[in-house]
Amino acid sequence: MALVFQWKGDGLLSGTLTTSTAGTGDTAPSQINLSGSTASVAVTSSRSPGLQLQEAAVGSFAWVDWNVTPSTTAALRLYYTPTSVLASNHTIFSIRDEAETRIADINITATGLVQLYDVSNTLIAVAPDATIAVNSTYRFELTIDTITGVFDIAIYSGHSTTAIVLKTSVTGNFVANSVGCVRIGKNTTTQQAETQLWDDIVFTTDQVFIGSADTVPTVSLGPDLVQIEPFKNVPLSATVTAGTIGAWVWTQIAGPAVTLVGTGASRTFVAPALLNGIVLQFRVTGDGTATDTISVTINPHLEWLKTSGSLAALHNGLLQLK
C-alpha cells in the first residue's frame, strides 16, 4: 500500500489542533481554517484520539486540509461521527486538486441523506434518508480515478464488514486535475453548525478500500510465566496480533508493587524475593482498546536458594551465605 498520509492521533492527548499536531506515524494538517469555530483533538474512553470540529453557529465555517503530492488515483478511508444536530447540506469531507478546487464533495443533510457533488456541481444522491444518525460512527471508503472519472464509495457502520451503501462507478463528472488535497469539514457559511468527529484517516494511491473491513487491533502477552527466580530481570513483551498499535499503557494489577522499566510494547522488572513466593499480574493496553494480561509466578526465596545450584544474596544482595 502506497501510504500518502494518515491521521490517527495515536498517543495524543485532548487539546487544540494545530498544523504541528500529529500522533505516531501521522502527517500534521497543512491548513486549518476556522471562523467562529474550534478544531481540537478529542480523546474519550470509548474511542481513539479524533479530530473534532465545533462550529459555533450558522455563518461560521471550519475545515482542515492535508495537501498531498498530485496523483491521478486516490483512495480515502475515514471514520465519521456527528455528535450533535445533523447539518443541512453540510460538507463532511472533500477531494480537491492542487488549487483546492473541488473534485468531489461528500455532503450530509439534516435527515441523514448522504450526497455527492462532482466537478460540475452536479448533485448525486448516494444514500437514502436516515442512513447517518447522531452519535453513531460510520466508516467511509472511496476510490477515485481522475483520468477515467471512475468513482466508488462505500459506507459502513463502525467496523462492520457489510456495507450500508456500496456504489461502484458512480455516474458523474470526476475527470479533473490530479488529486492534491483532502479537506475535512464544512466549506461555506451557509451550512448549519454542528459538532463532529473524524478519526483513523488514511489516504493512499493504490489501495482499493471498497468492501474491505477495518481491522480491530488486538495484542497478546503470551503465556503466563512460572518459576521465575528472585532478583532476575523479567522481560514482558506485547505482540500486535491484528491491526496496528501506536500507544501503549502498562499497569500492574496484582501482587507487591514492582518498577516497570522500558517504553512502547516492552517492559522489564526485577523479580522480588519473598519467603512464600508470589504471583504478579500485569495488563497492557494498546491505543486505549486492545488489551491483554499476564501472570508471573516468582519462586519462594528459600526454595530458589535450595535448588538454584549456587548460593547467592539472601536479602537484596547484602547478606551472603557461605
Cα 316 to the center of its chain, rounded Å? 44
Sign of the Cα pseudo-torsion (119, 125, 127, 133, in order): positive
Q: pLDDT (tens digit, 9 = 90+) per residue, 28-61? A: 999 999 887 889 998 876 667 889 988 766 667 7
Confidence band, pLDDT 50/70/90 cuts, at residue 318: very low
The enclosing H or E element of 302 equals: helix 301-307
Q: How far is it, in rounded angstroms, from Cα 50 to Cα 48?
A: 6
Predicted pLDDT at 320 = 42
Q: What's residue 307's pLDDT?
A: 63
- CA gap 257, 6 in Å, rounded: 39
Q: Which amino acid is at 125?
A: A
> In angstroms, rounded to a whole number, what is the distance separating the alpha carbons of residues 133 and 109?
11
Mean pLDDT value of segment 298-313: 66
Partnered with residue 44 across adjacent β-strands are: 47
AA identity, residue 255: G
DSSP H or E run through 39: strand 37-44
Report which secondary-structure segment, H or E, holds 280. Answer: strand 278-286
Is 0.75 topped by the overall pTM? no
| From 38-47, 96-105, 259-268, the region with the lowest mean pLDDT | 38-47
Domains, the chain: 3-204 (2.60.120.200), 218-307 (2.60.40.1080)
- What is the predicted pLDDT for the residue at 172? 93
Pick the more confident residue, 192 or 163. Answer: 163
CA distance 155 to 26: 24
